Amino acid sequence: MSSAQTQELTRSAFWKAAGQLLRMLRERQGWSYHELAARAGVTADLVVAYELARVRYPELEACWRITTALGVDLPAFLRQAEKQSGTTLLAGAQHPNFTAPTVLDNATASPQQTDELADFIDRLRPRGGGDKPQ
């Protein structure tokens, strides 16, 4: 089996588990597809497609909206789907050797947080005319 086929099987198992988890959370609330869709600001067809794992690459915004409507933190939801599926979507992904600062709103950020964010962005900019960040 090729690496691409293995990755596709992993992805399929993950999103199947994620769909089952979505359905369980929705049913626990006692909501129909339409109720969850209305609360999340998405279509009922999208909720059905995600629950049945019919979408190969679910959209971040839609996943975030749905999990938020269900009262679940998106990263926690994804970790639970990984646990249930026994797989990870991040297999083979390499973390950078530096950590991005967490600053969501420059209006409320301290000067130190703003400086950390600026430093992080500077490290991403190409040096010497190259195309790749450092």
Predicted confidence at residue 10, as pLDDT, reads 78
Please tell me the predicted confidence (pLDDT) of residue 27.
Answer: 96
Higher pLDDT, 105 or 10: 10
Mean pLDDT throughout 104-124? 67
Q: Which helix (H) or strand (E) holds 18?
A: helix 3-29
Q: Indicate if the pLDDT at residue 42 is higher than 80.
A: yes
pTM given for the model = 0.67
Q: Where are the domains of the chain?
A: 3-85, 95-134
Residue 101 has pLDDT above 70, yes or no: no
Q: What is the mean pLDDT of the chain?
A: 82
Span between the terminal Cα atoms of the chain, in Å = 35
Q: Which residue has the tokens 């190409």?
A: 126
pLDDT at 113 over 70: no
Domain 3-85's class?
mainly alpha
Which pLDDT score is estimated for 89? 79
Closest CA to 13 of 67, 77, 86, 90: 86
Residue 14, exposed/middle/buried by CB under 10 A (0-12, 13-18, 19+)? buried
Is pLDDT above 80 for 81? yes
Position 54 pLDDT exceeds 50? yes
Rounded mean pLDDT of 62-71? 96
